[in-house]
Amino acid sequence: MYKINTNEPFWWGLFMGGAGMIGMFLPVLILVFGLAIPGGAVPPASYDTVRLIHLLGQPASVGNLLVKVFLFGVFSLTFFHWAHRFRYLLFDLGLHGGRTAVEYLCYSAALAATIYTAVTLFVIA
């Protein structure tokens, strides 16, 4: 094998994982939770937020855990996708000084959002 002078593959891997999640799942999540439900396309009786949270909070069943792991994967990878994209956007916009600081800020923000997601999903809900 060979050695490279950077851990960029790690961040790019998360970036691409996020791209997959966003491409596959975000449109349908936005369609259902952003448009269909607020727009009244789904009968109120069949859905409400309290019920969803209640479902997530049911005592551990394999189904619930899978839903939580799925949502955690979608959200955390999306955050890291944003971090990577935003980091290079700032560079493209001409922010040349402090590249390392920008990297720390972006990925730290994504990590913080990921931890928040984990706490919300696995501890509170």
Residue ranges binding other proteins (CB under 8 A): 1-10, 12-13, 16, 88, 91-92, 94, 96
What does the alpha-carbon distance between residue 101 and residue 107 come to, in Å, rounded to a whole number? 10
Which residues fall within 8 angstroms of residue 81, CB to CB, at 6 or more apart? 14, 15, 17, 18, 19, 21, 22
SS3 18: helix
Q: Where are the alpha helices (DSSP H) in 57-98?
A: 62-92
Which residue lies nearer to other proteins by CB, 4 or 45? Answer: 4
Q: Are 104 and 44 in contact (CB under 8 A)?
A: no
CB 92, min distance to other proteins, A: 6
Nearer to other proteins, 83 or 121 (CB): 83
Q: Which is nearer to other proteins, 3 or 44 (CB)?
A: 3
The residue (of 85 and 118) whose beta carbon lies closer to other proteins is: 85
Q: What minimum distance in Å lies between the beta carbon of 8 and other proteins?
A: 4
For the bound state, the minimum distance from the C-beta of residue 102 to other proteins, rounded and expressed in Å, comes to 14
